[in-house]
């Protein structure tokens, strides 16, 4: 039952094989190109906060005022309303959530001469440290108002997180900050 193919049939069969092999390689590339152009692909970003852009590097003198650790920081505004109180509360609680990594991090409230003097009462176990310096306060004014942010021990402001008048929403943002900070601490040899 071995049937011999005519030259025309052999030619068609060879073309079919060639087109099949070409399709095996070309179709995945075309599909990938379509996925990218249509915006269906979410890049593999693992941070949950917002990268600081343009980057902010604290001056050496300003960085020396802060603890020589990773910092969860907040710039205290002229009037400390609900959003300010939520941010300070979350910053102080994140310190406790770090567990064994607590010795590498310090929550900091950065005040200038125009900052509020009436600050909310924080829990008794709060380790939030206030730093009063107009220069440092001015350097960080480029960040969105009422945002929590991470500063590394070298003085680079790395990520920022929006806060809210709603305490639960601010706590959820705090969880994102905690997640990112734990990754940074795991990868960092500094601080």
Nearest alpha-carbon partner for 90 in 134, 149, 11: 149
- Residue 1, in any domain of the structure: no
Burial of 142 by CB count in 10 Å (0-12 exposed, 13-18 middle, 19+ buried)?
exposed
Q: Do 167 and 70 contact (CB within 8 A), yes or no?
A: no
pTM: 0.75
Give, in order, the Cα–Cα distances in Å from 159 to each of 72, 78, 119. Answer: 10, 23, 25
- Residue 113, in any domain of the structure: yes
pLDDT tens digits for range 27-64: 999 999 998 888 887 776 678 888 898 889 999 999 99
Report the distance separating Cα 51 and Cα 143, nearest Å: 11
- Residue 3, in any domain of the structure: no
Q: Is the same domain home to 75 and 108? A: yes
pLDDT at 14: 92
Residue 30 lies in domain: 8-41
- Residue 111, in any domain of the structure: yes
Q: Is the same domain home to 36 and 57? A: no
- Residue 86, in any domain of the structure: yes
Checking DSSP bridges between strand 50-57 and strand 105-111, what pairing results, if any? unpaired
pLDDT at 178: 95
Q: Quote the tokens at residue 120.
A: 């909310």
Average pLDDT of the chain to the nearest whole number = 90
pLDDT band at 67 (very low <50, low <70, confident <90, very high): very high
Q: Is the same domain home to 32 and 56? A: no
pLDDT tens digits for range 86-129: 999 999 999 999 999 999 999 999 998 888 778 888 888 889 99
Partners of residue 159 on adjacent β-strands: 51, 150
Looking up residue 144, the CATH number of its domain turns out to be: 3.40.30.10
Tally of domains within the chain: 2
Q: Do 51 and 157 contact (CB within 8 A), yes or no?
A: no
Q: Is the same domain home to 152 and 76? A: yes
């Amino acid at each position: 039952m071995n049937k011999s193919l005519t030259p025309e049939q052999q030619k068609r069969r060879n073309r079919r094989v060639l087109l099949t092999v070409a399709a095996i390689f070309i179709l995945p590339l075309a599909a990938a190109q379509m996925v990218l152009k249509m915006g269906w692909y979410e890049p593999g970003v693992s941070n949950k906060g917002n990268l600081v852009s343009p980057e902010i590097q604290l001056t050496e003198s300003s960085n020396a005022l802060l603890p020589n650790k990773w910092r969860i920081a907040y710039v205290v505004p002229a009037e400390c309303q609900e959003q300010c109180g939520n941010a300070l509360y979350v910053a102080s609680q994140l310190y406790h959530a770090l567990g064994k990594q607590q010795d590498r991090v310090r929550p900091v409230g950065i005040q200038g001469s125009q900052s509020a003097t009436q600050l909310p009462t924080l829990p008794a176990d709060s380790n939030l440290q206030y730093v009063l310096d107009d220069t440092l306060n001015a350097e960080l004014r480029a960040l969105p108002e009422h945002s929590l942010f991470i500063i590394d021990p070298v003085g680079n402001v790395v990520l920022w997180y929006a806060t809210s008048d709603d305490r639960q929403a601010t706590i959820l943002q705090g969880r994102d900050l905690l997640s990112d900070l734990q990754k940074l601490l795991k990868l960092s040899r500094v601080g």
